[in-house]
Amino acid sequence: MIKDEFFTVLEQQLDKGFPFVAYRKPGENGEKERTWALLQREAKTYYVGDFTESGFVFAPFEDQEKALIIPAEVSDEISTEYFFEEEHKNVKMEAPPFPPNQLRKLARVEHENLVQKAVDAIKVGEFRKVVISRSEKVETQLKVVEIFKNILKKYDAAFVYLWFHPETGIWLGATPETLVSVERNRFKTMALAGTQAFHNTVEVQWGEKEIEEQQIVADYIVGNLKNSELIATEKLQVSQAHTARAGNLLHLRTDIEGNLQAGASALKQLIGTLHPTPAVCGLPKDVARDFIIKNEGYNREFYSGFLGELNVKKETKRNSNRRNQENQAYASISRSTSLFVNLRCMKIEDGKARLFIGGGITKDSNPSLEWEETVNKSHTMKAVLVK
Ligand SMILES: C=C(O[C@H]1C=CC=C(C(=O)O)[C@@H]1O)C(=O)O
């Protein structure tokens, strides 16, 4: 489908009030060459049951039972060509001129106080790490589809999306974090944490605080996978932590992959094991989650939940080795899943954008630097709200 037609169809779907998602995946294998959309044919609400369904899922931070799905069988799929422009890639470090300074001062004090409270709780041994977040409302003159086009233009290394559902409203984002991808029985995940601003190079030094913060995430994921009986432990591969760019930011990342045991409930259990990771919640998970819910003072909704393709049909052409069929290509159909953590995202409310941003707190966190980090992270979405 040609680009203009693709975006017109999205606008029409919004006008009708029917659920849809448009997205582009990062990654190799030409995946980022196409932008896809799944358009539900009616306004009905569907929830994920046992994760054997096929479609696109959108799950909140807190209650996995409330994960919505746009099922493949009641939707139409369309796609258009890759849409990324090199000159838009470098996000300006200066934020666009919003919101008003007074509001920001108050938000800063509140955020720094909460970070300090978290540091104090860590120092007395209540938990080791917690992710503290906030939301911020900003003006935008752009229509939703124009914002999505900006996201497509700027962020080629992220999973980028525009989601609409009458139950959730409109969400957009450009996330650097994979929750899990599964193809046949092979799964991949990552431990992503630690942040610094990108200044034209990925050859950077990391401080002790960031190294520890990311190590906690990696150890947690690897430890839980090994204990879960869901995977073949001897096949688990864990990379060294390396620097990965996400727009105007850099993070530390460990890649983890392995083989998933067979069984209909394996994917559901794997997701339950991984979500929410200490990259968005904390450690130990339950105590950190309680601290977040009690203290953050707002509802995260779908921020730091997860989203993506669930059990979508994939056709791969292979050459048969059988003697009398030599070189004859045959297609095999498999199912693949690509789920991402919903970070660097926003919700459109009354024509304004509500941005969601957070950061990992450990015993060494400095409240004022943590505030600055959320401001830097907010630029990922602010940069697409202006022409
Ligand atoms: C929680 C967020 O980022 C996570 C992912 C990467 C780095 C993070 C950090 O350095 O704190 C966070 O754990 C967010 O962007 O809102």
Let me know if residue 27 belongs to a domain. Answer: yes
Let me know if residue 322 belongs to a domain. Answer: no
Phi-psi category of residue 7: left, alpha or beta, with phi > 0 → left and psi -120 to 50 → alpha: alpha
DSSP string of 209-267, one letter each residue: HHHHHHHHHHHHHHHHHHHSSSB-GGG-EEPPPEEEEETTEEEEEEEEEEEBPPSTTHH
Please give the Cα distance from 243 to 203 (Å, whole number). 8
The answer to whether the predicted template modeling score (pTM) of the entire model surpasses 0.90 is: yes
Let me know if residue 345 belongs to a domain. Answer: yes
Predicted confidence pLDDT, tens digits, the chain (387 residues): 787 899 999 999 999 999 999 999 997 566 667 899 999 999 999 999 999 999 999 999 997 779 999 999 999 999 998 666 655 555 554 455 555 555 678 899 999 999 999 999 999 999 999 999 999 999 898 999 999 999 998 998 899 999 999 999 999 999 999 999 999 889 999 999 999 999 999 999 999 999 999 999 999 999 999 988 888 888 899 999 999 999 889 999 999 999 998 777 889 999 999 999 899 999 999 999 999 999 999 999 999 999 999 999 877 655 555 554 545 556 677 889 999 999 999 999 988 999 999 999 999 999 999 999 999 999 999 999 988
Whole-number Å distance, alpha carbon 278 to ligand 1 midpoint, is 10
Looking at ligand 1, which atom is closest to the CA of residue 377? 15
Let me know if residue 42 belongs to a domain. Answer: yes
Let me know if residue 323 belongs to a domain. Answer: no
Q: Which residues, other chains included, contact 9 with Cβ-Cβ below 8 Å and sequence gap of 6+?
A: 1, 37, 39, 78
Whole-number Å distance, alpha carbon 250 to ligand 1 midpoint, is 10
Whole-number Å distance, alpha carbon 113 to ligand 1 midpoint, is 19
- pLDDT computed for residue 94 by the predictor: 45
CATH code for the domain in which residue 64 is found: 3.60.120.10
Main-chain dihedrals φ then ψ at residue 191, nearest 5 degrees: -110, 110
Mutate-to-test residue for ligand 1 from 130, 251, 283, 306, highest number of ligand atoms within 8 A of CB = 251
Cα of 331 vs its chain's centroid, Å: 31
- pLDDT computed for residue 382 by the predictor: 92
Domain total of the chain: 1
Whole-number Å distance, alpha carbon 247 to ligand 1 midpoint, is 13
DSSP-based helix, strand, coil % in the chain, nearest 5: 30, 35, 35
Please give the Cα distance from 269 to 271 (Å, whole number). 5
Looking at ligand 1, which atom is closest to the CA of residue 246? 6
Ligand 1 binding site (Cβ under 6 Å of any ligand atom) = 131, 133, 177, 192-195, 251, 279-280, 343-344, 357-360, 377
Token pair 């369904």 in the structure block, residue = 53
Parent domain of 154: 3-317+328-382
Let me know if residue 130 belongs to a domain. Answer: yes
Task: Judge whether 24 and 34 are in contact, CB under 8 Å.
Answer: yes
Mutate-to-test residue for ligand 1 from 133, 192, 373, 378, highest number of ligand atoms within 8 A of CB = 192
Let me know if residue 137 belongs to a domain. Answer: yes
Let me know if residue 313 belongs to a domain. Answer: yes
